[in-house]
Structure 1
Amino acid sequence: MTVVVEPRLHVELEEPLTRFTAKYPYTPEAAALSRWLVDAALASWGMFDLIDPAVLVASELVTNAIQTGCQLKIGFQVERLGESTVRITVSDGSCSMPVFVDAGLPAGPDHVPSRGRGLVIVNSLARRWGVDLYACGKDVWAELRLRPQSRAR
């Protein structure tokens, strides 16, 4: 079933609702739409403690995809893998690997790189993350897990 939330956002819903899928244009609005979709999905699953970190991870992954400059649609998916784990996947048409700038950045605004820090954030929030390369693009994904005591409210 496809739900059109607004003209630019077509959400694929499957029963039971364990996966939300969308396609976005390569515009800055894609990050905002992904944050909205993650918030709605996790709230519907009762995974409230994951909303803030998952929204940030989604935003970083979509922002990286936007910066590739591809002209295809960005694929976005948030999927419930079990009662405590979600996976966020962003697909783009670029075969360029994402850039990970490790910790230990020099202090001061004149020395901080303008790109590459998003994956540091993803790495710190996700249980694990990775990249699946294809002939015409890639998926960058991250899995987040609830702590045992915070499964439901």
Structure 2
Amino acid sequence: MPPTTAELVHDQSLGNLLDHCDVELAGLPAPQRTARVALTSFLDDVDEGQLDDAKLVASELIANAVKHGRGAVLIRIEVYELGTALGVVDLGHDTGVLPSHPRNSSVEPDTAATCGRGLFIVQNLANTWSVEETANGKIVIAVLTREGSR
């Protein structure tokens, strides 16, 4: 089983924390766009593919927070020597209902999943992801390691 985000970050597997920022998203009409712009400027030293992965992961986490968690409050971007951790904070307390794979509402084999695709994308792009409860909701964290660091 891969290490949890908390284990990666707290046991220094990602190396030292180099920089971090919190970007407020509460009440914004386009929180995903705001996060993508912030990531583009904050992660200016990663290659284009890694930046695209980080932007897609952030967009999916924010979309889930908006749809299921009473809105995204902020995104925390942490840059470590060997990777990046993205955390999206929302006010929801629904940590037990997070799917680990896409769900279909039908038994038809050609029917596309209508729910759960976002976290499936996150699971496939991030090295690991986890959910931690906070005093006022939860934070969903995804870790993307730099190419060649693992």
TM-score after normalising by structure 1? 0.72
Alignment-derived partner of residue 35 in structure 1: 36
- Please tell me whether the aligned partners of residues 26 and 66 of structure 1 are also in contact (alpha carbons under 8 angstroms): no
Distance 1:67 1:103, change over 3 A: closer
Distance 1:17 1:145, change over 3 A: closer
Q: Give the RMSD, CA atoms, in angstroms.
A: 2.5
Alignment-derived partner of residue 140 in structure 1: 140
Q: How far does residue 134 in structure 1 lie from its aligned partner after superposition?
A: 2.6
Q: Residue 18 of structure 1 aligns to a residue in which SS?
A: strand
Q: Residue 115 of structure 2 aligns to a residue in which SS?
A: coil
Alignment-derived partner of residue 99 in structure 1: 98
- Please tell me whether the aligned partners of residues 127 and 142 of structure 2 are also in contact (alpha carbons under 8 angstroms): yes
Q: Which amino acid aligns with 1:90?
A: V
Runs of 4+ in 1 over 6 A off after TM superposition: none
Q: Which amino acid aligns with 2:116?
A: G
Distance 1:59 1:28, change over 3 A: farther
- Please tell me whether the aligned partners of residues 35 and 58 of structure 1 are also in contact (alpha carbons under 8 angstroms): yes
Q: Which amino acid aligns with 1:25?
A: A
Q: How far does residue 101 in structure 1 lie from its aligned partner after superposition?
A: 4.8
Tell me if 1:50 matches 2:47: no
Alignment-derived partner of residue 24 in structure 1: 25
Q: Distance in 1 between matches of 2:38 and 2:113?
A: 29
- Percent sequence identity over aligned pairs: 27
Tell me if 1:119 matches 2:119: yes
In structure 1, the gaps of 5 or more residues are 1-15
Q: Residue 78 of structure 1 aligns to a residue in which SS?
A: strand
> Deviations 1:90-117 (Å, cap 9, x if unpaired)?
0000001263252696643xx3232211
Q: Residue 43 of structure 2 aligns to a residue in which SS?
A: helix
Q: Distance in 2 between matches of 1:104 and 1:32?
A: 27
- Please tell me whether the aligned partners of residues 77 and 90 of structure 1 are also in contact (alpha carbons under 8 angstroms): yes
In structure 2, the gaps of 5 or more residues are 1-16
Alignment-derived partner of residue 10 in structure 1: none
Deviates more, 1:117-126 or 1:34-43: 34-43
- Please tell me whether the aligned partners of residues 26 and 70 of structure 1 are also in contact (alpha carbons under 8 angstroms): no
